[in-house]
Structure 1
Amino acid sequence: MTKPRNPSTGLLRRLFDLPPGQNDAAENWVSFGSRTPRAARRASSVVLIRDTPNGVETYLGYRPGGSPLGSVAFPGGSLENDDEAEIPWYGPSLSEWSKRLGILDQRLVRAHIVCAIRELFEESGVLLAGTDELSVVENCDSEDWMAVREAVAGQDKTLSDVLIKRGLRLRTDLLRPLSHWISPNFALRRFDTRYFAAALPVRQEPSLLRGKGVWAGWKVASEVIEQRATTALGDEVNEPDTRGLPLSMETTPAVEVILEKIASARGTVAYLSVRRELKSYHPELVQVGGKFYLDVTTTTAAEGGGKGRGR
């Protein structure tokens, strides 16, 4: 659902459907009046993309338990204590990243970047690291690498331990900051999430984490957007909180807006090359006609030289 656009700013007020599992929390929030929101945990998420003849694809996965990132979302998760530790990398300096993200605390900057690469590695096996500033590790789909992923995910090893042992450093230059999203105030679980984008490295292929992954796959962004009013994606995931639901009811506005931008891009290079003003979004709960929605104001511009696909 959309509201009139402000022609002077190019902004569009939009109402996104609320996932069914969040209705009780929304009811309580409205019934008992505004209260102090629960603290939002800081998190990072990576939008992994690649080119195909059918358009730009992105890697989506299922997240159980009502994740603040959405039941269907990009790889990601909350920051851990070890993410703040110094870690070797190739790419922009901490001060440069601080400017890009608009965060003064450089420890927090490091934590968001390390968390993004760590979560991508844990959940997909894709590792943005190399032996020098021009290389990227290859073939991370062996049994050995799966064991490493399990150890990092279980916090038996740190990402820094893994890199040092193999003579690797993070390739933070392969990340592009996208946007900043804060979960709505009424939510029982809230994230303060920094979204990044990265192209799939050559000779790497994502896979589910053994014993934890349920569903994940490459999806053409334009096709997901074209079919978002249907239950196609939710039925493919085939979980109780996705089956029979359209896109907005199985994910978050952040995921849907990012998918729209990818769908409008002419290719991976074009999408990653866009100069973006890093925007912050904080969806608000509204009630229209007795139904709950998430109210978000977004920009309408297409990214990467493509044609915009408005909702």
Structure 2
Amino acid sequence: MLNSSNNAAGAKPPAKRFFPLHPDQREAAQAWVDFGGRTPSKPRFASSVVLLKDGPSGLQTYLGYRSGASPLGIVAFPGGSIETADDDAMDWVGPSPAQWAKSMGMDDEVLARRHVVAAIRETFEETGILLAGPDASSLVEGVQSAEWMKAREAIAAQDKTFAEMLGRRGLALRTDLLKPLVNWVSPDFMHRRFNTRYFAAAAPVNQEPALLQSKGVWGRWVCAGDLVAGRAGTALGDEIGAPNTVGLTLEELTVPGAEIILEKVAAARGCIAYLNHKRPTVAYQPRLVHAEDQFLLEVDVAPASEGAAARER
């Protein structure tokens, strides 16, 4: 379901896209149909970050493997749920929470702040990339040491908060380095649902991603163009080598939102062009449809030049 205000007169209607269900979603979909639908579970608010850098054969982005049945997909951009500690006070560089709320098409500036904090925190936890610095013109360096890995592990285990880690090192969030993308809401039939805000950011030149030692299985920079061009094959899933990835295609490994973002990254002329592109703030929610004896997810995807501000649910 595409949530937006009315299109301008003469505007093209949204294009319908169809995506397969992941194997672990089919049982939930069948139960949803068998019982005539039910009250959907309330989605958890989440944030995800599309890290970008220019590569020799096109724009690259960082993807990682997620164990379990994550609403973000088996292969996904760094991200996760908003946490209570994301409300903690911390130094802040960039647009105010009120400005972030406006750019994200929201009325709730408190929730907008949580999404921004969660985006930077989750990226740090999962990749070690830290969008923070001592002032508005610099970024922290040398985040690949054992000491930084220990800090990531402590935050992931909730032994220490992100705000405590930043405060101890005299660092402020560089929220000015994030760009809002789109809002995706998990389908109604799913047991675990996310209301996810996607952001984009250029990878700092002085930082390199590294998997979290306690949880990391697979993650690396990928050329979005190559990945999209080979989406019908199973090379990515076979490379990861997990029982739930081998033999699967890109659309079976990712959620619709991530695949569509990958397509747009693949079509971009470079990192600066992608980050500077002006986008409408749109919310999407795939619908469950039954066609030719199989379940599919249907998404109304607005043309790139269209769409209007969507309100947070």
Give TM-score scaled by structure 1 length. Answer: 0.93
Contact 2:79 2:119 in 1 (8 A): yes
**Distance of 1:48 and 1:10 partners within structure 2:** 31
What does 1:1-311 align with in structure 2 at a 5 Å threshold?
8-9=11-12, 11-301=14-304
**Distance of 1:205 and 1:298 partners within structure 2:** 34
Greater length-normalized contact order (CA 8 Å, ≥ 6 residues apart): 2
Cα drift, residue 120 of structure 1? 0.2
**Distance of 2:125 and 2:262 partners within structure 1:** 22
What SS class does the counterpart of residue 195 from structure 2 fall into? strand
Cα drift, residue 8 of structure 1? 3.5
Which digits, 9 at most, give the CA deviation of each residue in 1:79-133, with x for residues without a partner?
1001122221110011111101122222211111000000000000000001111
Which digits, 9 at most, give the CA deviation of each residue in 1:38-76, with x for residues without a partner?
111110000101001110000000001110000000000
**Distance of 2:250 and 2:85 partners within structure 1:** 34
Sequence identity (%) = 53
Amino acid at match of 1:231: T
- Is there any run of 5+ residues in structure 2 with no aligned partner, and where? 1-9, 306-313
**Distance of 1:130 and 1:211 partners within structure 2:** 26
Contact 1:84 1:108 in 2 (8 A): no
**Distance of 1:9 and 1:112 partners within structure 2:** 31
**Distance of 1:249 and 1:287 partners within structure 2:** 17
Which digits, 9 at most, give the CA deviation of each residue in 1:265-292, with x for residues without a partner?
0000000001110110000000101111
Report the RMSD for the aligned CA atoms in angstroms: 1.2
- Is there any run of 5+ residues in structure 1 with no aligned partner, and where? 1-6, 303-311
Aligned in 2, Cα 1:140/1:10: closer, same or farther, shift over 3 Å? farther
Cα drift, residue 34 of structure 1? 1.4
What SS class does the counterpart of residue 275 from structure 1 fall into? coil
**Distance of 1:166 and 1:86 partners within structure 2:** 14
Which digits, 9 at most, give the CA deviation of each residue in 1:196-234, with x for residues without a partner?
000000210000001110000110001111111111111
**Distance of 1:290 and 1:31 partners within structure 2:** 14
**Distance of 1:285 and 1:87 partners within structure 2:** 41
Amino acid at match of 2:176: D
Tell me which residue corresponds to 2:3. Answer: none
Cα drift, residue 139 of structure 1? 1.7
Where do 4+ consecutive residues of structure 1 move more than 4 Å? none
Contact 2:43 2:192 in 1 (8 A): yes
**Distance of 2:289 and 2:159 partners within structure 1:** 43
**Distance of 1:118 and 1:297 partners within structure 2:** 31
How many residue pairs get matched? 296
What SS class does the counterpart of residue 289 from structure 2 fall into? strand
